[in-house]
């Protein structure tokens, strides 16, 4: 009997005061009983990002795992694996700089319906460096003054993929066939979408900040300088160390984050080493 046995409850241990928990006592590489799916979902809602160690998953198993939680996105710009378009291989070759996710962001907020969550699986991990940081957007909202909360509630922000993916910004090399992570030209790059600055989590009902420096261009109705100052303040507030956690990867570690209430940041501090991850995102709802 594997550790996924329905009779073995999972263990959930927080790794910081703000968010994040390491989960053990479960084998994610095989179909999960409904009870285990419910336990993972409950842990995700409580801790916002979950970490699992020593998991053995084929790409098919990673897809099957993610499908327990919803439909999967096919990224409009980042190319997936030929045989599994919903899986993106996040590869950083030895001797290069990382560029994917190397700034604070929430995944795919330039979608009308941004991803519910992301499941990232570590294949090749540097001996040190290449950690991923997470920040709790619900804690960030809760820590604001009533006056600031009142001002933010009702504001709407404009999001777009342009800053992260416009070839004029990223360079054309990423659009060529030999790039470690290959992008494709897409209408999605120039599109602007609008989301509330404060969103209500559809499952927990908790409010959280929903702006990020990678995809949020501006706040509607404010002068450019006001919008920049407000977004700048919110970002430095939301990523205070006390509101974050940091995950040190090992080969076969897996992270599952709730994209509705966290930002994350991939550390680019392992120039000499290779790092390879497989990533799927679960489709989400329109924020409200």
Ligand X SMILES: O=C(O)CCC(=O)C(=O)O
Which positions ≥6 away from 9 have C-beta within 8 Å? Answer: 25, 39
- List 118, 136, 227, 244, residue binding ligand X (CB under 6 A): 118
Q: For ligand X, which is the closer residue by CB, 25 or 126?
A: 126
Which of 107, 195, 201, 275 does the annotation list as catalytic? 107
Please indicate whether residue 146 is annotated as part of the active site. Answer: no
Q: For Fe ion, which is the closer residue by CB, 86 or 107?
A: 107
Please indicate whether residue 264 is annotated as part of the active site. Answer: yes
- List 27, 86, 107, 258, residue binding Fe ion (CB under 5 A): 107
DSSP output for 167-193: HHHH-GGGGSTTSSS-B---GGGT-EE
Task: Please provide the size of the chain in residues.
Answer: 288
Which of 199, 264, 268, 275 does the annotation list as catalytic? 264
- Which residue has the closest beta carbon to ligand X? 101
Residue 107 binds ligand X (CB under 6 A) = yes
Q: For ligand X, which is the closer residue by CB, 106 or 227?
A: 106
Residue 260 binds ligand X (CB under 6 A) = no
Select from 34-42, 100-108, 135-143, 195-203 the region that touches ligand X (CB under 6 A).
100-108
- DSSP H or E run through 66: helix 59-67
DSSP output for 232-287: HHHHHHHT-GGGEEEE---TT-EEEEETTSEEEEE----TTS-EEEEEEEE-----
Please indicate whether residue 275 is annotated as part of the active site. Answer: no
- List 28, 32, 77, 90, residue binding ligand X (CB under 6 A): 90
Q: Please give the Cα distance from 161 to 97 (Å, whole number).
A: 21
Q: What residues are labeled active site? A: 105, 107, 264, 279
């Amino acid at each position: 009997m594997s550790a996924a046995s329905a009779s073995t409850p999972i263990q959930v241990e927080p790794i910081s005061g703000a968010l994040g928990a390491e989960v053990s006592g479960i084998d994610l590489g095989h179909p999960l009983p409904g009870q285990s799916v419910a336990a993972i979902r409950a842990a995700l809602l409580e801790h916002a990002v979950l970490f699992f160690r020593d998991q053995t998953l084929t790409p098919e198993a990673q897809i099957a795992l993610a499908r327990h939680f919803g439909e999967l996105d096919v990224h409009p710009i980042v190319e997936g694996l030929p045989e599994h378009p919903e899986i993106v291989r996040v590869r950083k070759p030895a001797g290069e700089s990382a560029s994917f996710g190397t700034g604070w962001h929430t995944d795919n907020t330039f979608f009308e319906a941004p991803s519910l969550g992301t499941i990232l699986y570590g294949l090749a991990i540097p001996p040190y460096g290449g950690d991923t940081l997470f920040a709790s957007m619900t804690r960030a909202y809760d820590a604001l003054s009533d006056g600031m909360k009142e001002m933010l509630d009702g504001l709407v922000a404009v999001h777009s993929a342009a800053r992260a993916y416009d070839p004029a910004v990223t360079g054309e090399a990423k659009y060529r066939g030999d790039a470690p992570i290959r992008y494709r030209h897409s209408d999605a790059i120039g599109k602007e979408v609008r989301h509330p600055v404060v969103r209500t989590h559809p499952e927990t009902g908790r409010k959280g900040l929903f702006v990020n420096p990678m995809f949020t261009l501006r706040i509607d109705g404010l002068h450019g300088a006001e919008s920049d100052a407000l977004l700048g303040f919110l970002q430095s507030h939301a990523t205070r160390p006390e509101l974050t956690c940091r995950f040190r990867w090992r080969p076969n570690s897996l992270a599952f984050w709730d994209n509705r209430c966290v930002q994350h940041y991939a550390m680019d501090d392992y120039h000499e080493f290779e790092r390879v991850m497989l990533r799927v995102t679960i489709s989400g709802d329109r924020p409200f």
